[in-house]
Amino acid sequence: MTYNMTYEAPKDLLKEKVILVTGAGNGIGAVAARSCAAHGATVILLGRTTEKLEAVYDEIVAAGHPEPGIVPMDLSQITQPDVEGLAQALDDNYGKLDGLLHNAAILGDRVPFEHYSIEQWHRVMHVNSTAVFLLTRVLMPLLQRSDAGRLLFTSSSVGAVPRAYWGAYAVSKYAMEGLAKLIADELEQTSPIRVNIINPGATRTSMRAAAYPVEDPASLKDPEDLMSLYLYLLGPDSQEEHGRTFNAKDWGSRTGEDRGRSKVPE
Ligand SMILES: NC(=O)c1ccc[n+]([C@@H]2O[C@H](COP(=O)([O-])OP(=O)(O)OC[C@H]3O[C@@H](n4cnc5c(N)ncnc54)[C@H](OP(=O)(O)O)[C@@H]3O)[C@@H](O)[C@H]2O)c1
């Protein structure tokens, strides 16, 4: 399969769209939120740290883009009533949801399996996969009201090929990819919602720095470099893409859907 390698998002790609981004306070999520807003979307900024969300909110408003919403929410704690409250607020304010970017995640420990803390296991699985299920399950009726609903799940190379010592992070990404594919299969014939998975690959963020502390951050791509692909998958131009995994390293360079193991984990 060939990627649309020259995609340049039109300025008004996401006009009138409402897009929720989890982990929108920093890293890839903050850049994706700003980028969606710059292309016309009203962005709902969900994250753990209110000050970080407010900083992104301020930047978006100062740039003259649609006013975002802020949802401080700790995904390690969320329950069904929390998400139902969010759904009600989104319904009251916007009446629909056009895009849900599952981006927030935590790395957890990278230790031998027999030393992995059970508490840590539950926390990583809750943030990286159970919260993803809960948000998707409860917000689905709002996505169904969109004429071009988009569900985008953020994975990792260890979500496709497990790697020693990556513990619950790898397993949670596996679970999330399974959920994404299951939902894609269920919706294929019954809904205009498009469901895809993105693997950003090695990107200059605090998570990457925590995973590879001796790596030179300057050797990595910037989150901005990913935005053509994110915008494509969140906007109406990706109507033909469904149930696919997109590796950012292939975007703009060559064809492919291969999830081969790289020497340096991404
Ligand atoms: N960077 C890479 O090289 C790379 C490679 C492959 C995949 N990915 C994936 O790309 C996505 C973004 O990663 P990133 O590198 O941008 O990570 P990051 O810089 O660590 O950002 C993660 C975001 O998730 C939020 N978050 C973490 N725990 C949360 C919780 N309990 N509740 C709500 N929000 C929470 C963080 O908020 P706080 O800062 O407030 O905690 C932060 O805004 C992740 O899914 C990651 O697995 C990244």
Set out the domains of the chain in order of their start, with CATH numbers: 18-250 (3.40.50.720)
Which among 207, 221, 245 is the best mutation to test ligand 1's pocket, defined by most ligand atoms within 8 Å of the CB? 207
> Considering only CA atoms, which of 225, 197, 173, 202 is closest in space to residue 32?
225
d(CA 258, CA 102): 22
Kindly report each contact of residues 56-65 with a partner whose C-beta sits within 8 Å and lies 24 or more positions away, as own/partner: 56/24, 56/25, 56/30, 59/34, 60/33, 60/34, 63/34, 63/37, 63/38, 65/37, 65/38, 65/40
Is 100 in a helix, a strand, or coil? strand
> Which among 185, 201, 163 is positioned nearest to 244, based on CA atoms?
185
Ligand 1 proximity of 90 Cβ (cutoff 6 Å): no
**What pLDDT, on a 0 to 100 scale, did the predictor assign at position 201?**
96
User: For residue 5, what pLDDT is reported?
Assistant: 60
Entry pTM: 0.94
Predicted confidence at residue 59, as pLDDT, reads 98
Taking the centre of ligand 1 as the mean of its atom positions, its distance from the CA of residue 190, in whole angstroms, is 32
Instruction: Please name the residue whose Cα sits nearest to atom 17 of ligand 1.
Output: 207
To test the ligand 1 pocket, which listed residue (20, 26, 52, 245) has its Cβ within 8 A of the most ligand atoms? 26
pLDDT score at 265 = 44
Nearest to 266 by CA among 198, 193, 179: 198
Region at 112 (left for phi over 0; alpha for psi -120 to 50; beta for the rest): beta
Looking at residue 263, its pLDDT comes to 36
Establish whether residue 207 lines the binding site of ligand 1, counting it when its CB lies within 6 angstroms of any ligand atom: yes
pLDDT value, residue 6: 75
Give yes or no for residue 102 CB within 6 A of ligand 1: no
Ligand 1: does its nearest atom lie under 6 Å from the Cβ of 40?
Answer: no
Taking the C-alpha atoms of residue 247 and residue 224, their distance in angstroms, rounded to an integer, is 15
pLDDT per residue, tens digit, the chain (266 aa), is: 445 467 999 999 999 999 999 999 999 999 999 999 999 999 999 999 999 999 999 999 999 999 999 999 999 999 999 999 999 999 999 999 999 999 999 999 999 999 999 999 999 999 999 999 999 999 999 999 999 999 999 999 999 998 999 999 999 999 999 999 999 999 998 999 999 999 999 999 999 999 999 999 999 999 999 999 999 999 999 999 999 999 999 886 434 343 333 334 45
The radius of gyration of the chain's CA atoms, rounded to the nearest angstrom, is 17
